[in-house]
Chains A and B, each alone.
Chain A
Amino acid sequence: MIRDITIGQYFPMDSVVHRMDARFKINITLIFLVMLFWGQSVAALAAGLIFVVTATALSKIPPKMIVKSLKPIVPILIITGVLNLFLLDSGKVYFEWGILKITESGVQTSVFMIARMCLLIAGTSLLTYTTSPIVLTDAIEALLSPLKKLKLPVHELAMMMTIALRFVPTLIEETEKIMAAQKARGADLESGNIIQRAKALVPILVPLIVSAFRRADELALAMECRCYHGGEGRTRLRELKSAPRDYIALGVTLLMLAAVITVNAILN
């Protein structure tokens, strides 16, 4: 159940996309997002689709994993789809029943929105699938480093993110262990009404929170023992390096964005 959550999951493989500079990958993802939202035409969606399909193929990530990443947003997709379907009324009317009306623009918009959201999640999942969390936060730190001049604690924020990401799998594992242990004592997590279910969470949440604090304590101590003192003067084990392929990928993405903007302008 918990294992279905794929957000932030890293999928180690040996591929061009995995080897790319994470800073470029983040920038490319951002451009991709702009492209998706700027685009008002089917052509823009097609461009997005081509982007996702090509990147997935290059990354050697099984397409099944991309589909899996869409699973958690299915409820959101359904709600958006249904709302757009019924609330918009212009154009040809396909169906009418009381106040419910399905029109041409409704169908178009809801299909368009669903496709756009699917591409959005698929594209961003690719970023986390192909980049290990540590490298990702390093890259975010590098990209945000100009803000250091504004006295923003960029390194500390990045460190906090690294730690948080690092402990997601640990806490998931811990939750599963505690759930198993309480189930072994007959805890019933699957039946009953909302209040009973909420109560059934107490035997899981209390030990989980206690252990999170314990881990935080231990980690702080371990970091202090190794003389961790924040960002100043700290060097890295892995430096971020860009290669020609990064510039090529960035160039291609920018071209796609330009094309989408042009198509938009022509259509208007």
Chain B
Amino acid sequence: MPVLEAKDLTYTYSIGSPFEKTAVDHIDLAVEPGEFVGIIGHTGSGKSTLMQMMNGLLQPTSGKVLLDGKDIWEKGTDRRAVRFKVGLVFQYPEYQLFEETVYKDIAFGPTNMGLDKDEIDRRVRETAKIVGLSDDLLEKAPYALSGGQKRRVAIAGVMAMEPKVLILDEPTAGLDPRGRTQILSQIAAFRKSSGCTVMLVSHSMEDVAKYVSKLLVLSRAKVVCYDTPANVFARGDQLSEIGLALPQVTRIFHGLAERGVHVPEEVYTVKFGAEQLLSLLKGGKADDT
């Protein structure tokens, strides 16, 4: 059974004013437990709105969101409990830090859950470790940290709630390439250790291609496709039609194939691509026509 499901989900902003806009238009989506879903689409394609409906922050204009098969907007549902189960990290989450120390800020979520002190302490230290914050940083004021460190504190704050589904809205926006890989691999590590489902919004194909098991492509408030990365990238033409580019490495391999080099076309991580090229070079020049 899917852990999180959207059924005919629609959201319209500012109904009845000249600014009326449908951000999510009759979307169906089912996320299986343990999956790592990448969500990709242009600015304004409805990614963020969809994510905020998934944890009950926005009430859908129509349609349903099911968590473990239960409608989260059904009467009598505790929406706070839903938000603990579906953790959402917003864009630029470092701007939400407010506590005096990093420790207290990460503990904010678990404290709201009503956990006891030892459990909170365990969670804060564990998640801090996962996102690579050393113990001495925990007692510092969040404003004394660097941008990248603040971002990781904010992400740890949601991870510490140990949600069943962790949603991250562009967690790597505005970071340098090194910070990007760091955060993405930390998210992957958290998924491995906690076994949670992860949904990652991004508009960088490179970022998602490396980690995700499924890819959801949105355009103009609608789902274009929801499939494995290989199948999605195989539809390169359709992607470029809606203004999304394939990962650079995939484009290189498509180019090679066009020029008659015998390489697989479904290459979407640099590592796999390098292996392919190496074996091609080692395997003699017979293939290279």
Contacts of B109 in A (CB 8 A): 185-186
A206 near B98: Cβ-Cβ < 8 Å = yes
B216-247, CB under 8 A of A: which get 1 and which 0?
00000000000000000000000000000000
Partner of A207, one of B57, B95, B158: B95
Contacts of A12 in B (CB 8 A): 18
Residue of A nearest to B58 (CB): A180
A186 near B83: Cβ-Cβ < 8 Å = yes
**Shortest Cβ gap from B95 to chain A (Å):** 6
**Shortest Cβ gap from A221 to chain B (Å):** 17
A207 to B113, CA, bound (A): 22
B98 near A186: Cβ-Cβ < 8 Å = no
Select the stretch in B2-10, B20-28, B85-93, B251-259 that faces chain A. Answer: B85-93
A202 near B90: Cβ-Cβ < 8 Å = no
B95 near A184: Cβ-Cβ < 8 Å = no
A63 to B56, CA, bound (A): 33
Contacts of A13 in B (CB 8 A): 18
A185 near B55: Cβ-Cβ < 8 Å = no
A180, A182, A186, A188 — most chain B CB neighbours (10 Å) = A186
B90 near A203: Cβ-Cβ < 8 Å = no
A207 near B97: Cβ-Cβ < 8 Å = yes
B143 near A184: Cβ-Cβ < 8 Å = no
B80 near A207: Cβ-Cβ < 8 Å = no
A177, A184, A187, A211 — most chain B CB neighbours (10 Å) = A184
A195-223, CB under 8 A of B: which get 1 and which 0?
00000001110110011000000000000
Contacts of B88 in A (CB 8 A): 181, 184
Residue of A nearest to B163 (CB): A184
Given A186-B112, A187-B112, A210-B143; A203-B98 close (CB under 8 Å): yes
The size bracket of the interface on A is 20 to 34
Partner of B55, one of A177, A182, A184: A184
B90 near A180: Cβ-Cβ < 8 Å = yes
A210 to B158, CA, bound (A): 21
B18 near A207: Cβ-Cβ < 8 Å = no
A11 at the interface (CB under 8 A from B): yes
A100-113, CB under 8 A of B: which get 1 and which 0?
00000000000000
B95 near A178: Cβ-Cβ < 8 Å = yes
A148 at the interface (CB under 8 A from B): no
B81-119, CB under 8 A of A: which get 1 and which 0?
001100111100101111000000000110011000000
Partner of B158, one of A177, A185, A211: A185
B149-161, CB under 8 A of A: which get 1 and which 0?
0000000011001
A245 at the interface (CB under 8 A from B): no
A166 at the interface (CB under 8 A from B): no
> Could you name 9 residue pairs across A and B whose Cβ atoms are closer than 8 Å?
A180-B57, A183-B83, A186-B161, A187-B112, A202-B98, A203-B98, A203-B108, A207-B95, A207-B97
For the A-B complex with A182-B108, A203-B98, A211-B95 known, give 15 more contacts whose Cβ atoms are closer than 8 Å.
Answer: A177-B90, A180-B57, A181-B90, A182-B96, A183-B83, A184-B55, A184-B158, A185-B108, A186-B80, A186-B112, A186-B161, A187-B108, A207-B97, A210-B95, A210-B143
